Amino acid sequence: MQYPDGRWQPSRRSFPTVRGTLVRRTPLRRWLHPEQRQRRHYLLDERPTEPVLSDWFLGAFLLLRREMLEELGGLDEGYHLYGDDIDLAYRADKVGWERWYVPGAVVVHHHQAVTDRSFFTRRTLWHWRSIARFVRKHPETLRAL
């Protein structure tokens, strides 16, 4: 993905941890700077030039096999704006579907980053609800602390 000004937008991630999410989505990020301390989550030190396996991707642009979507029951509509991409990738991983990052496929993403700029917005609430939904659906992920 690219920002409208042509800069690279990191769009592949490792699966999130509870601790990392708390840092990224609370005022702790003002002091702990997740963009620097969580480089492994954001995969910032990797700029693959060839296709590579990855945990999950921002849902702004995905190419998905219909067979996979049918097997998994599609995206979970219970998520509101955030988390459905992580949930789908996690469920795909659990049943053995591979997820590939293909750097040659480039799209422009007009990313507003609302939850990155403000802590207490409606979107922040939606994000926290999505996190809670993910943990309820996949309680085993809590072990990733």
Query: What tens digit of pLDDT does each residue of 28-68 get?
Result: 767 777 677 777 777 888 899 999 999 999 998 999 999 99
Are the beta carbons of 2 and 8 closer than 8 angstroms? yes
d(CA 145, CA 92): 22
112 has pLDDT over 70: no
Per-residue pLDDT, 79: 93
Give the confidence band of 141 by pLDDT, cuts at 50, 70, 90.
Answer: confident
d(CA 7, CA 28): 27
From the DSSP assignment, how many helices (H) and strands (E) are in the chain? 8, 4
d(CA 102, CA 4): 19
Task: Between 73 and 31, name the one with better pLDDT.
Answer: 73
Which pair of tokens denotes residue 135? 């943990």
145 has pLDDT over 60: no
Which pair of tokens denotes residue 65? 């096999």
Per-residue pLDDT, 116: 56
25 has pLDDT over 60: yes
d(CA 110, CA 133): 26
d(CA 2, CA 23): 25
- Provide the whole-model pTM: 0.83
Sequence-ordered list of residues with C-beta below 8 angstroms from that of 119, at least 6 positions apart, any chain: 26, 27
Question: How many Cα atoms within 13 Å fall on the side-chain side of residue 128?
Answer: 11
